[in-house]
Amino acid sequence: MPTVSAADLLASHFDAMPPVRALQPRVLGWADGRLRLGAPLAANVNDKGCAFGGSLVSLMTIAGWGVLALRLAEAGVEADLYVADSRVRYLKPVYEDLQVEAAAEDPAAAAALAAQVRAHGRAGLRVRAQVRLADGAVAAVLDARYVAIARG
Amino acid sequence: MPTVSAADLLASHFDAMPPVRALQPRVLGWADGRLRLGAPLAANVNDKGCAFGGSLVSLMTIAGWGVLALRLAEAGVEADLYVADSRVRYLKPVYEDLQVEAAAEDPAAAAALAAQVRAHGRAGLRVRAQVRLADGAVAAVLDARYVAIARG
């Protein structure tokens, strides 16, 4: 799937959700099972002039969600995606525009996702998402488990 | 502190943060160390017509934050509050307006918070926040650790 299609697919999803649209996320890249999102600090700022923790979680949560959505879209599988649980560590304050990366913890499990949903009607996948600073440091980490349930 | 003051204090904080303002939270009550927030489903809805997971985390995160903010305001202690880490479990989809409750896990630790910040310049507190359905069921649980750092 070319990057422009991934961007279109996710952008329309994000735009349909008011609490997500408010964060102004945009797709920066999708390659090798890794999704990169960006968002302006101004739309995600807290009372201390750095990024709001809830924004970091939300952006990491939708980045992880996007990894499953794009995998399944590429395979032509229609499914609803739910986040089941997540663990977040906030490591550094973010005083710049946000960059988020997400990928499955286990590439083999990600590769098998669509086939599993087809065979069993549902499948789970663990994803790790990170907020990265411009200097390469990791500002926040989310480890989350998602469930895909076949539609219809 | 009467509820109206708590509501005013938190409302001005929430309103100053664009990603929080977008969720339209309002203070429903503050008594016995327990904070209750509400938010309309329409501002927090996902692509499936129920509440977005990131909204649930954000609202639970600010509810926990509010517990520390109100405790410290009552004691006249000025501090910056940070969420350090959190664990979220999503238990049920929410198809109604959101109700969030938060309180310290350990009431004794909450009661000692302000004195600790005064004495040591900082203190940590664990808070549990929950999203409750109208029928009383728990839809999501957040366990988070916050740090208060004395200002100036």
The answer to whether the beta carbons of residues A130 and A56 sit under 8 Å apart is no
Q: What is the CATH number of the domain that holds A93?
A: 3.10.129.10
For residue B19, the distance in angstroms to the closest alpha carbon of chain A comes to 5
Q: Which whole number is the average pLDDT over A56-75?
A: 95
Q: Which whole number is the average pLDDT over B107-118?
A: 96
The answer to whether the beta carbons of residues B45 and A17 sit under 8 Å apart is yes
User: Cα–Cα distance between A34 and A26 in angstroms, integer?
Assistant: 15
Q: Which whole number is the average pLDDT over A79-99?
A: 95
- Please report the pLDDT score of residue A8 as a whole number: 87
Residues of B in contact with A59 (CB under 8 A): 54
- Please report the pLDDT score of residue A7 as a whole number: 77
Full residue range of the structural domain in which residue A9 is found: 3-150
Q: What is the mean pLDDT of chain B?
A: 93
pLDDT band at A47 (very low <50, low <70, confident <90, very high): confident
**Chain B CA closest to residue A19:** B44
> Whole-model pTM above 0.80?
yes
Q: What does chain A come to in residues?
A: 152
pLDDT band at A40 (very low <50, low <70, confident <90, very high): very high
How many domains does the structure of chain A reveal? 1
Residues of A in contact with B20 (CB under 8 A): 46, 52, 54
- Please report the pLDDT score of residue B31 as a whole number: 94
- Please report the pLDDT score of residue B2 as a whole number: 47
Q: Which whole number is the average pLDDT over A133-137?
A: 97
CA A8, chain centre distance (Å): 15
- Please report the pLDDT score of residue A2 as a whole number: 47
Rounded to 5°, the CA angle A81-A84-A88 comes to 115
